[in-house]
A and B are shown apart, each in its own frame.
Chain A
Amino acid sequence: MLDAEVKQPKRWRRYTIDQRLMRFAIYLFLVAAIVQSLRNINIIPEFLIDAPEQMLDLFNRMWPVDWAYYPQSVNSALVETIHIATLGTIIAVLLAVPIGLMAASNFTPNRGLNFVARLILVSSRSVNSLVWALLFIAIFGPGALAGTLAIAFRSIGFIGKLTGEAIEEANLGSIEALKATGASRGALLNYGYWPQIKPAFWSLVLLRWDINIRESAVLGLVGAGGIGMTLDTAMNLFQWDRVAVILIAIFAIVIVTEIIITQVRKRLL
C-alpha cells in the first residue's frame, strides 16, 4: 500500500448538491403554500372558542335517540342506499373495463386511444360523486336514478385506472406464449390477462363497493336518493334526535359492509 497516501478529511453528505437543491426547493414551496394558506384563511376566533359549547349542545339535542324513527323511514332509505351503491358499482364495472383496457399501453398500442381513455378516467375521478349527483339531478331530476348514475360515473375512474394498471403490470410471459399460437385479441384477454388480474380485480371492485356505500349515504343531501335525503330533512327540521338515529344507522351499515368484505376476502380471494 502506498505510504504516501495523504489522509484528507472527507465530508460526507447524504444527498448530492443536485438532490439537495431539489429537496430544498420543494420544502420552500411547501412552506410558502402553508404560510399563504394560513394568512388568508378566514377563522373567526369567537367561533373557535365557542366550539366545545356548541358540540355539547348538539349532543344534548341528539339524546335521547329517536329509535322509533328507524322502522318508519330510516330502514327503507337505508335499503335504497344499498341498492344505489350496488347497482352503481355494477354499472361502473361494465363501463370501466373497456375503458381501462383502452388505457393500458400494452393492450392498446394506439397512443391516441390511450390518451382519450386516460382523460376519461381522470375526469371521472376528479369530479366528486356529489358533483356528479348534482349533474345527474339536473338531467334526470332528483331521486335514486341520479344517485346511481353518479356513483357509477365516479367509480369508472377508480376501477378503470387500477384495472389498466393491473393489465400493464401483467406478466408478459404467458401473454407472449398465447400470441405465438395466433390467439385473437379476445382470447388473449380471456386466457392471458384475465386469469392474472382476476384476484386484484375482484379485490378492487369490493373496495370500490365499500367506498360507494359510504358515498351513497351522503348523496341524498343534494337530493339523489337514499338515506342522505332523510338526513337532510331531519337536519332542516332541526330534529336532532332523528339525525342521531340516522347517523347511527349509517355507521352501522358501514361496519356491516366492512365485515361482509372481510369475510368475502377471506373465503373467495
Chain B
Amino acid sequence: MPAQLSIQDLTKSYRAGIPVLKGINLEIAGEGVTAIIGPSGTGKSTLLRCINRLVEPTSGRVMLINGETSLDLAKLKGRALRRARRQVGMVFQEYNLVERLTVMENLLTGRLGYTPAWKAWLRWFEVSDIDRAYELIAKVGLSELVNQRADALSGGQRQRVGIARALMQKPELLLADEPTSSLDPKTSVEIMELLTELAQAERIPVVINMHDVELAKRFALRIIGMSGGDIVFDGTGDQLTPDHLKSIYGGESWLT
C-alpha cells in the first residue's frame, strides 16, 4: 500500500509576521503525480522543503503515514530525522549532483542514509545497492556514462541521474522541486515522462513543483494551485479553467 502524506496547518515565516506558508492543509495519497503550480515566491519550494525538513516549519504537522506507522516529520530530530529523510526522495531544479564524483558515485549517495561513513569512504557499498544502481542507470538510459564525472554531462542527463539518485533511496514519497525549469522544452517532456513512469513502477506518490501549466495538465493526475501562501485550487487538469489560472497567477495577458 503506497504511503500517504498528510500536511496539517503548516505555516512558515522566514521573518516574523510575514508568513510564506499560511496554514496549508493537504492530503496526498495513493500513486500518481500531483503537480503544484503557482507564481514564483508563492511558497511552492518552501512547502516541498518543509516536508523533508531542508527548511524548518514554523508550526504545523507533516504526517507521513506508512501502513501502521505514522511519523510527524516536522518534529523529528537527529537520527530519527535522518531515518525519515531516507524515505523521502528529492529531485532538484539545478540537479545538485556532486560535480566531481562520477555518475555511479552520485547514485550511491542515494544510499548514504543506509551506509556507515567508513564503508562509504572506502566505497564498500552493498552488492544489492550496486545492482540497483546499474538497474536504475539502465532505466534512465545512461548506462554508457556510468563512470563519467557528473560535470561532463548535459542538463538533461544530469537530471536523469538526479532522478535515479532519488529512487536509489527506495523512497515512500518522491518530491521534485521544479525539475524541468532549467531544461529545454523537449528535454522537459522527456524528464516528466521519466518521472511519471518510474514513480508508477515503484508505486509511490510524486509531488512536483512546476511553473509550466501545460506540462502539469499533461502529466499530473491532480493539480494544486498556490497563491500567496494559500492553496486556491485543488482538482484535475480538466477542472483548471482560465478563471482559476487568473486567481493563481494574476494578470490576463499571458493566458491564451
Residues on A lying within 8 angstroms of B by beta carbon are: 9-14
Contact = CB atoms under 8 A, between A and B. Distances in A.
Interface stretch (B17-25, B123-131, B160-168): B123-131
A10 B105 CA distance: 15
Interface of B: 102, 104-105, 123, 127, 130-131, 133-134, 146
- Do most interface residues of chain B lie in helix, strand or loop, or is the interface mixed? helix
A9 B105 contact: no
Contacts of B127: 9
A238 B105 CA distance: 60
Nearest to B134: A10
Contacts of A9: 127, 131
Nearest to B127: A9
A10 B131 contact: yes
A8 to B, nearest CB: 10
A12 B131 CA distance: 9
A10 B143 CA distance: 12
13 contacts: A9-B127, A9-B131, A10-B130, A10-B134, A11-B130, A12-B104, A12-B130, A12-B133, A12-B134, A12-B146, A14-B102, A14-B105, A14-B123
A10 B127 CA distance: 9
Contacts of A12: 104, 130, 133-134, 146
B3 to A, nearest CB: 29
A221 to B, nearest CB: 44
A81 B133 CA distance: 63
Contacts of A11: 130
B141 to A, nearest CB: 12
A232 to B, nearest CB: 49
- 4 shortest A-B CB distances, which residue pairs? A12-B130, A14-B123, A10-B134, A12-B104
B121 to A, nearest CB: 11
A10 B147 CA distance: 13
A72 B220 CA distance: 84
A229 B104 CA distance: 61
Nearest to A14: B123
Nearest to B108: A12
A10 B134 CA distance: 8
Contacts of B146: 12
Nearest to B101: A14
B9 to A, nearest CB: 46
B135 to A, nearest CB: 9
Contacts of B123: 13-14
Contacts of B105: 14
A162 B26 CA distance: 61
A13 B134 CA distance: 13
Contacts of A13: 123
Contacts of B102: 14
B133 to A, nearest CB: 8
A148 to B, nearest CB: 45
A9 B132 CA distance: 11
Contacts of B133: 12
Contacts of A14: 102, 105, 123
Nearest to B104: A12
A142 B130 CA distance: 69
B160 to A, nearest CB: 18
Nearest to A16: B147
Contacts of B131: 9-10
